[in-house]
Structure 1
Amino acid sequence: MKRKIFLGSVLASLASFSYAASNVTLYGQMDIGVVAGKAKHSSATFQERSGFTGMSRWGIKGTEDLGNGYRLSFTLEEGFTADDGAVTAGSGAFTRESILRLNGPFGTVAMGRMGALGFAQSTAILRGWAFGTSWGASAWSVGNVHFGRLNNAINFVTPTFSGLTLHATYSNGTEADDKKWSDNAHYYGFGAKYTAHNVDASIIFEVKDNKGVALLEEKQKALYHITAGGTYNFNGVKPGLIYQYATQEDYYHQHAFGFSVTAPLAGGSAKLGAKYLLRKYDSHYVDLAALSEKKASVWTVGAGYEYPFSKRTNLWTYAGYADGAKGWKNEADVNYNGWQVGLGLLHKF
């Protein structure tokens, strides 16, 4: 009798645990392949690479319905390189994203470690570039200004008004906030995203004040940039445009332009894009760093293709070429000078 009572209590406990944990999900993806390339003034390379089209990652996410239109959710996500099992995006656990969210009639508030509005992760709203922040030399983040992931951050998103949402992110210390306020580097981001009538577009204004940050033993000035981009869906064919202007006093001013298109092809999806970046260094920085050129520029073209073997597994392939000029003409990096081709698999779970 006691054995039956004990067994019944165990089963009841398991059932209650299963119910409580039913809204918690383990998820992730593995991206691994082979990539060959040759940079200017360097030997050709052939490597097994992880995260070329999308960083390998795993995470835990869950939600709780609080009633009356309110919901609490969380995301904990860590990146890794599948070819050697190493952790990426810094030391520690869940360095890609660590967020607690509250959703309600007012919108959404999120706190923790998250991506800047113009970068990646669930709080980002970058639009207009088919390759996003991945795909080798075609990544929008190559050469362009971005603020990556932010510690000590809070993000607010308004409810949707006819396809329009407003976004704001603030970081009280992009790395740490253990000093007085004036010695922490702060991030401010404001943006708008519109998704309706076949249009998917955004405009983002971002600032990092660089308080407490030094460049070549001198205090850095604030870095400002604005990014605008979008796509239009023509029956599955999505051409896109993107532009960014960045400026930092006593350092540089920069323009970046991109045109890309995503289209269905042979049961899969093809990407094609070209971008051009022009940077002009301030005289102060040129003298300080003893640069030989006051300007730098690079243009890049890339093509990618994804074929779905299933709902969770894609074959991917890529080819890209970059050509730098002036300040980057001798840069021994395939992102600025050289070619790159790759083939691999991405599996989501």
Structure 2
Amino acid sequence: MKKKFLTTAILATIAGAAHAQSSVTLYGSIDAGISYNSHVKNATGGSSSLWQYGDGVAQGSRWGLRGAEDLGGGLKAIFVLENGFNSGTGAAGQGGALFGRQAFVGLTKDTIGSLTFGRQYSFSTDVLGSLYSTGGNTVSGNWAYHFNDIDQLTSSRINNSVKFQSVNISGFTFGGLYGF
């Protein structure tokens, strides 16, 4: 009986030491505001004032899940599931797609970079978004780049894509993305 208990204790200790670290983060942002406009032309031809609720004033409202599982040796399995929504109505954004902002899985190695698969942002979003510290946009949102991001320079999402992004090597990074 003592040998069986000792063996079990040793195996539990070894299994505990080899246990990988994992994390899942639930995150989100609700961006809404109220605007006041004076001298708005009304149906009778006169003008009046208007109070208006605005959703996504600087950035789109969102919630998401981000996770990583340490596989050992600097290798991690990663995923991101991010959904956009209208904070005034609760309707899903991005045409009603569940996790329409981002939905990808992949692997990352701390000495090489990451390889991911799914609906992902283009490199223009990664590069320009990383210039600012507020989660990918400036305090004035996409307005700081181009009028309401009409050219999609900072919010292009590519469906069914494969993306490789290197780690920072002496201040230099590189990558490639292909959308099927």
2:15 paired residue number: none
Task: For 2:132 and 2:24, locate their aligned partners in 1 and report how far apart those are by CA, in whole Å.
Answer: 32
Counterpart amino acid of residue 127 in structure 2: I
Greater percentage in strand: 1
TM-score (norm 2): 0.68
Q: Give SS of 2:123's match.
A: coil
What is the aligned-residue RMSD (CA, Å)?
A: 3.3
Identity of aligned residues (%): 32
> Superposed, which structure 2 residues align to 1:67-82 within 5 Å?
67-82=72-87
Alpha-carbon distance change, 152 to 37 in structure 1, aligned in 2, over 3 angstroms: farther
Alpha-carbon distance change, 31 to 91 in structure 1, aligned in 2, over 3 angstroms: same
Task: For 1:117 and 1:25, locate their aligned partners in 2 and report how far apart those are by CA, in whole Å.
Answer: 24
1:34 paired residue number: 34
Alpha-carbon distance change, 112 to 37 in structure 1, aligned in 2, over 3 angstroms: farther
Counterpart amino acid of residue 35 in structure 2: V
> Superposed, which structure 2 residues align to 1:204-223 within 5 Å?
none
Q: How far did residue 20 of structure 1 move?
A: 9.2
Counterpart amino acid of residue 175 in structure 2: H
1:61 is aligned to 2:69 = no
Counterpart amino acid of residue 112 in structure 2: F
2:124 aligned residue (92, 113, 118): 118
2:113 paired residue number: 107
Task: For 1:68 and 1:129, locate their aligned partners in 2 and report how far apart those are by CA, in whole Å.
Answer: 31
Contact 1:118 1:146 in 2 (8 A): no
Q: How far did residue 138 of structure 1 move?
A: 2.3
The gaps in structure 1 that reach 5 residues or longer are: 1-18, 173-349
Q: How far did residue 21 of structure 1 move?
A: 10
Alpha-carbon distance change, 159 to 71 in structure 1, aligned in 2, over 3 angstroms: same
Q: Give SS of 1:168's match.
A: strand
The gaps in structure 2 that reach 5 residues or longer are: 1-18
Greater percentage in helix: 2
Task: For 1:103 and 1:154, locate their aligned partners in 2 and report how far apart those are by CA, in whole Å.
Answer: 13
Alpha-carbon distance change, 26 to 144 in structure 1, aligned in 2, over 3 angstroms: closer
Contact 2:22 2:69 in 1 (8 A): no
